[in-house]
Amino acid sequence: MTPRLPFHTPGVDLHHLRVITGAQGVAHAMRQIDPDVFPVYPITPQTPIIQTLSQFVADGLCHTHVLDVESEHSAMSAAVGAALAGARTMTATASQGLALMVEVIYLAASLRAPVVIAVGNRALSGPINIHGDHSDAMLARDSGAIQIFAETAEEAYDFTIIGTKLAEHKRILLPVMVGLDGFTITHSAEPVALLPDSAVKDFVGPYAYPSPLLGNQAGTYGPFSMPDSYFDLKYQEIEAVEAALEVFELVAEEFFRLSGRRYQAVEAYRLEDAEAALVMMGSHSGTAKEVVDKMRDQGTRVGLVEIRLYRPFPRHAIEQALAQVPRVAVLDKASSPGTLPPLFLDVAASVANTSKLVSVIYGLGGRDVPMAGLQDILEGVLADRFPPREPGYLFGNKVWHKEGKSWPI
């Protein structure tokens, strides 16, 4: 007797898809882009990216010089050197490795080094933990790097390609961090539609850094700047970061024409007539979409705002998306002890009426985020159960707020 499958529709042709992990997806994008230099240092959960790429190089599928340096600090330093010298450069990291890189990411932004950094987003120690959250990315929040967060393995692949073109755009010339949640995306195998190698090569084009160090002209790169120039130079960098709001749209549009996959800085999911909505980034947005669908099916009008471009922060798009939503929970996969978490603060700065916002911190150190938990958030918001200006904590299926006795010190 054959077991009965729960399907009601016939299968479709999915031959154009490959089942690969997010990390492998990123590595495939890198193989197709074929950067000149790839300085890197191993760290979980980034390692499958560089292992896969190294194998591609060993098999002669791309020409990248993988530079196995002795720390992430040196990886980013070598990346800045290579990118400014005139070579297309990428790297990858996570967590403590990103923490070690951050000093140089600021410099990369200031020196205008268009390095693409794949980040397998992972919790910061301590205690030491190898699983996913966004606390590492938040360290680089103010660095001048552009940050994109992927929801799926497909998006991790796509954003590596989009990120390269964005980083190297003549109005931008900034490092781009492509975030994919540690394990949830880096290590989960999902169907991914790879583009033809030649299509990707044509899309990103040759690396054409204006005035490279190894060009024919002498130049002083990275001079000392006093108060009479630092602020002006920093403003120049801020303008370039802001310009990425517009250039992201342009590049995403071009990518849509190539792939049929359309990306926006902010995705409004079933927000029409919603009485409550979640705002979040990364892989758990997928779970949230399931929760929204389920609750909508039961007659509850809820929706989701998924943010893909985190820096520059699409303030106006957020304002627009949330304009008609009376109750909003902003979900942070990171904390900022002593105040409200980063994404909440960004959203609060973007909406006219902040009293409709509540904050929930979730999934730290890879804590699972079940559908029931996200549903509890939406129900709590709808019932006005959550106190204002106090973050809630999603442990399992329930949002927890501090009340009464403190936890042992």
Partner 1 sequence: MLEIRFHGRGGQGAKTASQLLAVAFLEAGRFVQAFPEYGPERTGAPMMAYTRVDERPIRLHAAISEPDVVVVLDPSLVLEQNVTEGLGSQGFLVVNSGGLGSRVILPDIEGIVLAVPADELAEKSGTRHANTVMAGAVAALLGEPSLEQLLGAVDDVLARLPESLRLHNRQSVQEGYTYGVNALRTLDASSAKKPVHPAPQPARDTQAAHGPKLGRAGALIRPGDYPVPLTGGWRMGKKPAVFLNRCVNCLLCWQFCPDGAVVVDGTTFLGFDYAYCKGCEICDAVCPTKAVVMIDEESPVGSLGQLKEVSAS
Partner 2 sequence: MANIKEMAAHSQIDPRFGSGHSLCRGCGIPSIVRTVLSSIPGPVAVINATSCLEVATTRYPFTAWKIPWMHVAFENSAAVASGVEAAYHALKARGELSEPMTLVVFAGDGGTYDIGLQALSGALERGHRFIYVCYDNEAYMNTGIQRSSATPFGASTTTSPAGRAAMGKPEPRKNIVEIVAAHRIPYVAQAAMSHWQDLSNKVQRAYHAEGPAFLNVLSACPPGWGHEPRDAVRVVRLAVDSGYWPLVEVIEGHWRLSYRPSERVPVMQWLTLQGRFRHLFQPDQEEALEKIQTIIDDEWERMTQRDAQSASWFASEQARRWEVLPTLPDSWEPRLGEPMWEHFRKTPNPA
Which is closer to partner 1, CB of 13 or CB of 228? 228
Identify residues 65-94 at the interface with partner 2 (CB under 8 A): 65, 67-71, 73-75, 77-87, 89
Q: Measuring CA to CA, which residue among 23, 27, 21 is closest to residue 64?
A: 27
- Our finding on whether 104 is near partner 2 (CB under 8 A) is yes
178 binds, among partner 2, partner 1, none (CB under 5 to 8 A by kind): none
Residue 18, C-beta contacts closer than 8 angstroms, at least 6 positions apart: 191, 192, 193, 194
Nearest approach, Cβ of residue 113 and partner 2 (Å): 9
What DSSP string describes 333-367? Answer: SS--TTS--HHHHHHHTT-S-GGGEEEEEE-GGG-
* Residue 350 tokens, joined: 């973007």
Which is closer to partner 1, CB of 125 or CB of 236? 236
Residue indicated by tokens 């919790």? 123
Nearest approach, Cβ of residue 75 and partner 2 (Å): 8
Nearest approach, Cβ of residue 206 and partner 1 (Å): 20
89 binds, among partner 2, partner 1, none (CB under 5 to 8 A by kind): partner 2
Q: Which stretch binds partner 2 (CB under 8 A): 183-191, 192-200, 224-232, 376-384?
A: 224-232
Which is closer to partner 2, CB of 26 or CB of 75? 75
- Our finding on whether 185 is near partner 1 (CB under 8 A) is no
Identify any residues that bridge with 177 across adjacent strands, giving them in sequence order.
Answer: 117, 147
243 binds, among partner 1, partner 2, none (CB under 5 to 8 A by kind): none
Nearest approach, Cβ of residue 145 and partner 1 (Å): 14
Q: Measuring CA to CA, which residue among 346, 345, 324, 330 is closest to residue 378?
A: 330
Strand 65-68, strand 90-93: pairing = unpaired
- Amino acid sitting at position 196: P
Which is closer to partner 1, CB of 94 or CB of 173? 173
Identify residues 107-146 at the interface with partner 1 (CB under 8 A): 110-112
Question: Which secondary-structure segment (H or E) carries 96?
Answer: helix 95-111
Residue indicated by tokens 């490279």? 212
Report the distance separating Cα 367 and Cα 393, nearest Å: 11
- Our finding on whether 222 is near partner 1 (CB under 8 A) is yes
173 binds, among partner 2, partner 1, none (CB under 5 to 8 A by kind): partner 1
Report the distance separating Cα 45 and Cα 47, nearest Å: 6
Q: List the one residue from 17, 142, 191, 229 that touches partner 2 (CB under 8 A).
A: 229
Which is closer to partner 1, CB of 210 or CB of 337? 210
Strand 116-121, strand 176-181: pairing = parallel
Distances in whole angstroms, Cα of residue 270 to Cα of each of 296, 328, 369: 9, 14, 21
Nearest approach, Cβ of residue 69 and partner 1 (Å): 23
| Count of beta carbons in the 10 Å neighbourhood of residue 322 | 26
Q: Which stretch binds partner 1 (CB under 8 A): 106-114, 193-201, 276-284, 355-363?
A: 106-114
Ramachandran area for residue 406 (φ above 0: left; ψ -120 to 50: alpha; else beta): beta
Specify whether the CB–CB gap between 149 and 307 falls below 8 A.
yes
Nearest approach, Cβ of residue 383 and partner 2 (Å): 52
Which is closer to partner 1, CB of 11 or CB of 227? 227
Identify residues 223-252 at the interface with partner 1 (CB under 8 A): 223-229, 231-233, 235-236, 240
Q: List the one residue from 5, 12, 58, 218 that touches partner 2 (CB under 8 A).
A: 218
82 binds, among partner 1, partner 2, none (CB under 5 to 8 A by kind): partner 2
What DSSP string describes 242-305? Answer: HHHHHHHHHHHHHHHHHHS----SEEEES-TT-SEEEEE-STHHHHHHHHHHHHHHTT--EEEE
Q: Which residues bind partner 2 (CB under 8 A)?
A: 36-37, 39, 65, 67-71, 73-75, 77-87, 89, 103-104, 107, 111, 213-215, 217-226, 229, 233
Q: Which residues bind partner 1 (CB under 8 A)?
A: 84, 110-112, 173, 211, 217-229, 231-233, 235-236, 240
